[in-house]
A and B are shown apart, each in its own frame.
Chain A
Amino acid sequence: MTGLEFVFVLIAALTLFSAVMVVTTPNMVRAALWLILALFGVAGTFVLLNAAFLAVVQVVVYIGAIAVLMIFAIMLTRKVMKDSGPQTNSTWGLAALIAAALFGGLTFALTRSPAATLMAPDFSTVSDPVAELGRALVSPQAYVIPFEVASVLLLAAMIGAIYVAWKK
């Protein structure tokens, strides 16, 4: 096992363990913290894939914004310290079965698809991947339409959210 593989296994184990803790911790604030650790693990995976920009964005957006929103929502709605009800209900066995089947099916489908044998292009040869990304985002041959649509979509999402949440 090379050093890189060792680090990958470490990060993957950390991510999976935290993900399990998210769904099994009865206390909601602690569950949110485990979720943050899991998201950190994902950021680490991005780093290992040479996608440094995505890794940092993962931290800025998911941990710095979305998780903060979640924690506020939890604090706003629950008497958190008293949350100690059961984490499962009577259909958990069936749900586990379906989840396992879905995982198996997806793994089967993905390993059979031609995409499984494709290697990702080696970004380490690009001199400045971030500048390349910036150019792609606004160039008409690449992603300029999704870029502007994303902006409009975010604006619409914000207006919608405020319309729902804001009562004068």
Chain B
Amino acid sequence: MLTNWLYVGLFIIVALVLPAVTIIVPRFIAPKKPNRIKVDVYECGIETVGEAWVQFKVQYYIFALVFLVFDIETVFLYPWAVAFDKLPLFAVMEGVLFIALLLAGLVYLWRKGVLEWA
């Protein structure tokens, strides 16, 4: 079991080599002559106004919040799904009830208008 994970861990390290090489090699062979206009913020030739870090919509945060809750609930369903065909009817119904509660939460959000991206 653990050797399987060792393979995963080592594969992550080996996989890191590829992007690392791609980043490092051009450092030595690519030309480097930056000037002020070249490295300026690119906005299709128009000079940039103000900062890039503007206030953005609160909806991004709200969607992330809702996602968090659903994500945790989904994770609970995975072991249930694995054990599914060995479960008695009662246990299956427990899982179905769990899904129904998830749907109820979704209906609440929908009715409340949280899911509108206006």
Contacts and interface: CB of A to CB of B under 8 A. Distances in A.
Contact of A134 (B62, B83, B102): B83
Interface of B: 1-2, 5, 9, 51, 53, 55-56, 58, 60-62, 64-69, 71-73, 75-76, 78-84, 86-87, 90-92, 94-95, 97-98, 101-102, 104-105, 108-109, 112-114
B61 A76 contact: yes
Contact of A148 (B53, B61, B86, B94): B94
A14 to B, nearest CB: 12
Q: Tell me if B's interface is mostly helix, strand, loop or mixed.
A: helix
Interface stretch (A15-23, A66-74, A85-93, A97-105): A66-74
Contacts, number: 135
A165 B94 contact: no
A155 B104 contact: yes
Given A44-B9, A65-B64, A161-B65, 19 more contacts: A47-B9, A50-B2, A65-B72, A79-B51, A130-B83, A131-B83, A133-B83, A135-B86, A135-B91, A138-B91, A140-B90, A144-B94, A150-B76, A151-B73, A154-B69, A158-B108, A162-B66, A162-B109, A166-B112
A135 B79 CA distance: 8
User: What 4 A-B pairs come out closest when comparing CB atoms?
Assistant: A134-B83, A134-B79, A138-B91, A158-B69
Given A131-B79, A138-B80, A50 B58 contact: no
Contacts of A161: 65, 69
